[in-house]
Amino acid sequence: MNQMDQAVNEIEGYLLWEAEKARARSRADAFCAGLPWLTDTQRQEVESRYCEDQRDLSRAYLERIAVRSAGLRTEYESVYLALRRRLVTAFLSGTLAVAVLVAVAAAGLTAR
């Protein structure tokens, strides 16, 4: 991965995380809207704890996804390499078979 790809990935990650934080704040606000008896201080505390809990859940979820993605990448790369080896082997075998048939046919024509 080159520096440009890495920079784009970092920016994308930052933007995704900021969106996740905004989503947590929005959900916390909606949650607290259903609790109209809270004082302003209580509301701020509930929103803060809710946001923190949502961010922790999101972080754990994203870490599980990253681990699973890395595992799938490794698995798919090994399958791809095996398929590529089989394709190259089949191609070389076919080329060899054609070369043998052409040689046999050429030898048959020169023998006449």
As a whole number of angstroms, the distance between CA 48 and CA 59 comes to: 16
CA dihedral 45, 50, 56, 60 (to 10 degrees): 170
Section 8-17 average pLDDT:
90
Distances (CA, A) of 104 to 59, 91, 93, 110: 67, 20, 16, 10
For the entire predicted model, the pTM comes to 0.62
pLDDT category, 109, cuts 50, 70, 90? confident
Q: What are the pLDDT digits (tens) for 44-92?
A: 999 999 999 998 998 899 899 989 999 999 999 999 999 999 999 999 9
